[in-house]
Amino acid sequence: MPVKVLIVDDSGFFRQRITDILSSDSRLEVIGVASNGREAVEQARKLKPDIITMDVEMPQLNGIEAVKLIMRDSPTNVLMLSSLTHEGAQVTLQALEAGAADYLTKDIRAWIDKSDSLHNIFVERVVALGRNKRFIRSTAFAPRPLKSGQSSTVHTFSSDKGGAEPSSPSRSNQNSLTSRSQRTDPGLSSSLRNARQAHFPAHCRLVVIGSSTGGPAALQKILMELPASFPYPILLIQHMPKAFTSVFAARLDQQCKISVKEAEDGDKLLPGRALLAPGGHQLIIESRSPDRVKILPGDERVTYRPSVDITYASVAKAFGNKVLGIILTGMGADGADGAKLLKKSGAVMWAQNEESCTIYGMPQAVVKAGLADDILHLNDIGPLLKNNGKI
């Protein structure tokens, strides 16, 4: 059966353009359209689509509020379409916190030019998310702990085309996310209830985590488990555009006890600090300067910028068997080639299991190649990191 899609956008042009793209693929069936968030909530309840594509900024009821209501009343995977701006990044991350599965940037030039690349990426993302019936993203988004010196007021962006206004986190939203979290396997995964341990490098010097679709929520869940005294540096390679990574790093830094920042050329590897690879670039470690990161311009010939493969490969050469590599949810196979080099150097590899992935692509590639030392539920990875492979 084809994947049933509901399209939500206040622009008639985009509603038609999205309909044309999706209707051209026999795996997909557009079963309805809506021009605002309120219609989206009603249509989701009535039509029961497999996936919803949703604009962030809409009249009457914005995309974020619509996602909250949809996830409360008729849980459905939602793919947000977001502008490639700082404000768009802020709003998109709020939509992911509200329960959206993933996002795609909305570059109007590519849509007008009918880009084949955009067409293929969009269709494959909709198909993959539409076929996935698991709702596990929001388990990561609990009320945020405050670091020393932080105010209890956090800044959020309204979906109006204005700007930012300070506001307090919504208590009702936090409660709804907590209750949904409790419905999605709050305990240890069955694979670890007996063993309660995983492989861990004997002389670990670095943790490297790669992720893509579903990664923002997965990363947050893991990193929020770690204490400020976490003894290892962490590198984060999340497929994300340039405008988004600085915003994402800042939000993680606010939400986690460890320090998180967007990596800059020359940043030192420090215990208890995570460096997020900047969008549009590559992050590597050079053997001659293994205590700091090097940021390289993104080569257009490389599909992923940043690329998990490129970072894994450089880390394998610089640190050998003193690395813990982790591959999380995401489409495609980025990370599998780099994982081969890590394993050849004696490093340890963990892969997220299918049950807890938004998209079981990148971890599956590592697992199928026989490169994973342990296949772990998302809920277990943070506690295992915190306790050097033991729970």
The residues carrying an active-site annotation are 212, 239, 334
**Residues contacting residue 104 through CB under 8 Å, at least 6 positions apart:** 79, 80, 81, 82, 121, 122, 125
Of 33, 37, 35, give the one whose Cα is nearest residue 19. 33
Give the residues across from 325 on adjacent strands.
208, 349
Euclidean distance between CA atoms 112 and 126, whole angstroms:
19
Of 373, 377, 374, give the one whose Cα is nearest residue 329. 377
Element (H, E) at 77: strand 77-82
Euclidean distance between CA atoms 291 and 266, whole angstroms:
9
| The amino acid at 157 | F
What is the signed CA dihedral for 8, 14, 15, 17, rounded to 10 degrees? -130
Euclidean distance between CA atoms 77 and 48, whole angstroms:
11
